[in-house]
Amino acid sequence: MITIENLSKEFLQGQQSTEVLKGVNLNIKEGEFVAIMGPSGSGKSTLLQLLGGLDVPTNGTIQIDQKYLNGMTEKERTIFRRKKLGFVFQNYQLLSTLTVEENIAFPLHADGKLTNEKNRMIQELIESVGLDGLNRKRVNLLSGGQQQRVAIARALVNNPAVLLADEPTGNLDRAKAEEILSLFLKFHHENKQTIIMVTHDIFAAGFADRIVLFRDGVVDRVISRKDGDYAKYLASFMA
């Protein structure tokens, strides 16, 4: 599904260059829920941006759904993002002038006109994230948890191949975070949705099938739910 090979990224700051990713190799299967963890500056957010086509790598390749991102033009990457990827951000990134319904429909509008089927899908999504009755409410009048639900619905509206989430529970309390992560799990189980989630929170990471640990721009360790030491590893963090 996703193949990352020898991926590196350098940032130039004046005369100095900083290598944030240093030859990352990673494979993610279709329908897998992967959490990416690591200390600040380890390169996890940069990896997410490269996966989303928001930036281009210095070296290496990214293949998503059998398509290489490297060879794409800026416009091709935008359209690929619109059709194949869904984004959930820490601070929701909703468009304040639009209603709940309009925010969710935004990626579809960007792609063309809405059909009846798409409208029905939007309604189903609103119901499935628990926001029924709030369709025409302006998003800036919602609570943080509700705003993140809108963001999740928006990320899923185009039926993306991959859902990319950057600290989706970073601004929420534990109860609200659990609700959001439960939603992730729901879509992961019911729709076999591939999810890649960057998080600092081991509680959130615990919902994933696999945890990829980053350190100094490389994959330090990968722990899978299937591995024997997964529960032990989580417990060591929780302790």
Partner 1 sequence: MLNIWQVSWRNITQNKKRFSFTLLAIILGISFVTSMLVADKTTNDVFNYYEQMYVANADYWVLSDEHTYSEEIVSPIQQDLTVTDTLLALDKQTFFELEGDRSLNERSVRITGVNDQNSPLLVLPVIEGSLDNEGIILPEAAADLLGKGVGDTIRFANMGEAKVSAIVEYTQLLASPGNWESAESSSFRVIAPLELLREWTGKNDEISYMRFQTEGDGEDLFQNFQQKFRDASVYIEPVVADDLQSNDIGGLYTFFYLIAGLSIFISGFIVFNMIYTSVIERKREFAIMKSLGYTQGSVSKLVLIEMTLLAAMGTAIGVPLGIWLGDLFMQGLLSVFEFDMVYTLNWKLPTLIAITIGLLFPILFSLFPIYSAGKTSILLTLKNGSVVNASSRQYKLKAIAGLALLCFVFIDHPVSYAAVLASVILLFPILLVGLGKLMKPVLTALFNYSGVIAAKNLSMQLNRNANTGAILAIGISVILLLSTVVESAPEGYEKEIKNTYGGDVRVTSEAPWSAEDVNKLFSYHAVTDVKPLTEATPITWETIHEERRQFSVLSVSENGPSLFTHTREKDLTNKLKQKSSVLLGERAFNEWGGNIGESIRMNTPNGEQYYEVIGVVNTSHYSGYVAFMDENQLRDEFGWNNSFDLLLTLNSKANNSIRDQLWSDFGGYLSKVRTVEDEIKTTTSAISGMNSLIFVMLFMIIVLASIGTANTLLINTYERRFEIGTMRALGFTKQQVRNMILAEGILIGVSGVVGGIAAAVILVYITSKSELMEGFVSFHLPVSHLILAIIAGVSLSICAAWISSKTASKLDIQSSLKEG
Task: Return the number of the residue (44 or 81) whose C-beta is nearest partner 1.
Answer: 81
Taking the complex as a whole, the smallest distance from the CB of residue 20 to partner 1 amounts, in Å, to 12
Taking the complex as a whole, the smallest distance from the CB of residue 81 to partner 1 amounts, in Å, to 5
Residue 93 touching partner 1 (CB under 8 A): yes
Among 41, 106, 135, 170, binds partner 1 (CB under 8 A): 106
Tell me the window of 25-33, 58-66, 83-91, 190-198 that interacts with partner 1 (CB under 8 A): 83-91
Q: Which two tokens stand for residue 222?
A: 């990968």
- Site size toward partner 1 (CB under 8 A) is 28
d(CA 183, CA 150): 12
d(CA 22, CA 8): 5
Among 44, 149, 154, 210, binds partner 1 (CB under 8 A): 154
Q: Is 169 exposed, middle or buried (0-12, 13-18, 19+ CB in 10 A)?
A: buried
Residue 141 touching partner 1 (CB under 8 A): no
Binding mask 43-82 for partner 1 (x = CB under 8 A): ------x--x-xx------------------xx--xx-xx
Strand order across the 2-13 sheet: 16-28, 2-13, 59-64, 67-68
- Check: CB of residue 160 under 8 Å from CB of residue 86: yes
Tell me the window of 60-68, 103-111, 118-126, 222-230 that interacts with partner 1 (CB under 8 A): 103-111
Residue 97 touching partner 1 (CB under 8 A): yes
Q: Which residues contact 35 (CB under 8 A, 6 or more apart)?
A: 197, 198, 199, 204, 205, 207, 208, 210, 211, 212
Task: Return the number of the residue (54 or 234) whose C-beta is nearest partner 1.
Answer: 54
Backbone angles phi, psi at 204, to 5 degrees: -70, -40
Question: Which helix (DSSP H) or strand (DSSP E) does residue 211 occupy?
Answer: strand 210-215
- Contacts with partner 1, residue ranges (CB under 8 A): 49, 52, 54-55, 74-75, 78-79, 81-83, 87, 89, 91, 93-98, 106-107, 109-112, 154, 158
